[in-house]
Amino acid sequence: MREDVLQAIEREKLIAIVRGIESSACLKVAQALYEGGVRLLEITYDQRHPETWELTAQAIGETARTYAGKMLVGAGTVTSEELVELTHAHGGAFCLAPDTNEAVIRRAVELGMVSIPGALTPTEVMTAHRAGADFVKLFPAGDFGPGYMKALRAPVSHVKLLAVGGVNEKNIPDFLAAGAVGVGVGGNLANRAWIEAGEYWKLTEAARAMTEVIRAAVK
């Protein structure tokens, strides 16, 4: 399973990030994104509301079961070992985090999940890598741009980087050209306003546009 997830991330190159929506809407969001070509879905924990974590984990599990063999589902904003274990208990395939927490990285790997911590500097990237991270997400990538990623990769080219934060269909080709093995996209794909309005077709169209951009960029 773990090897399958690693291969899928490098092959698909796009993780859709679902943040700030009701857990009950996750299946509809997943369906809309799947129809647009998304095969990797991140459902994030809300750090302001720990009381919602169990519901989020249940949504991860339900979505993973519903789309078994079609879409891989994992968790985002995993900032503690507790959340790693909760994600694992509900069948999450991978854990993303905004920071580099060595204990979180190690626990995810111990439990057989793919670990994707966040980092910005060469020191953070290497700390994450040495702790066992499978990929490191450059965050917030959009604020620093593809040029920063290219410069960062020069001394750490052996580390697999994802571009996350401020990524859109216009800058995806540049991030991939700069050496990113993939990207994570949130509001520009799983847009909360569209979801709240029930305009799921817009998610499908956005997903289709982004997957087409990625296919063209990696030809």
Report if residue 39 sits inside a domain.
Answer: yes
Q: Greatest CA span in the chain, whole angstroms?
A: 46
Give 27-81 pLDDT, tens digit per residue. 999 999 999 999 999 999 999 999 999 999 999 999 999 999 999 999 999 999 9
Give 110-146 pLDDT, tens digit per residue. 999 999 999 999 999 999 999 999 999 999 999 999 9
Q: Domain range holding 46?
A: 2-202
**Closest-CA residue to 140 (of 108, 175, 177, 112):** 175
Q: What pLDDT, on a 0 to 100 scale, did the predictor assign at position 111?
A: 98
CATH number of the domain to which 23 belongs: 3.20.20.70
How confident is the prediction for the chain on average, in pLDDT? Answer: 96
Residues 38, 175: Cα–Cα separation, whole Å? 19
Report if residue 209 sits inside a domain.
Answer: no
Q: What pLDDT, on a 0 to 100 scale, did the predictor assign at position 150?
A: 97
Report if residue 151 sits inside a domain.
Answer: yes
* DSSP assigned state of 68: T
pTM of the model: 0.97
Query: Tell me, what amino acid is at 188?
Result: N
Instruction: Give me the catalytic one of 42, 54, 85, 160.
Output: 42
Report if residue 218 sits inside a domain.
Answer: no
**Does residue 207 have a pLDDT over 90?**
yes
Q: What pLDDT, on a 0 to 100 scale, did the predictor assign at position 164?
A: 98
Report if residue 22 sits inside a domain.
Answer: yes
Report if residue 217 sits inside a domain.
Answer: no
**Does residue 20 have a pLDDT over 90?**
no
Phi, then psi, of 13 in degrees rounded to 5: 70, 0
Report if residue 40 sits inside a domain.
Answer: yes
Asked about 42 being catalytic, the answer comes back as yes
- Residue 133: alpha-carbon gap to chain centroid: 14
Report if residue 208 sits inside a domain.
Answer: no
User: Could you tell me the pLDDT band of residue 21, with boundaries at 50, 70 and 90?
Assistant: confident
Task: Report the domain count for the chain.
Answer: 1
Asked about 137 being catalytic, the answer comes back as yes
Instruction: Give me the catalytic one of 137, 196, 202, 212.
Output: 137
User: Could you tell me the pLDDT band of residue 219, with boundaries at 50, 70 and 90?
Assistant: confident
**Residue keyed to tokens 């968790």:** 75
User: Could you tell me the pLDDT band of residue 1, with boundaries at 50, 70 and 90?
Assistant: confident
If 0-12 CB within 10 Å is exposed, 13-18 middle and 19+ buried, where does residue 51 land?
exposed
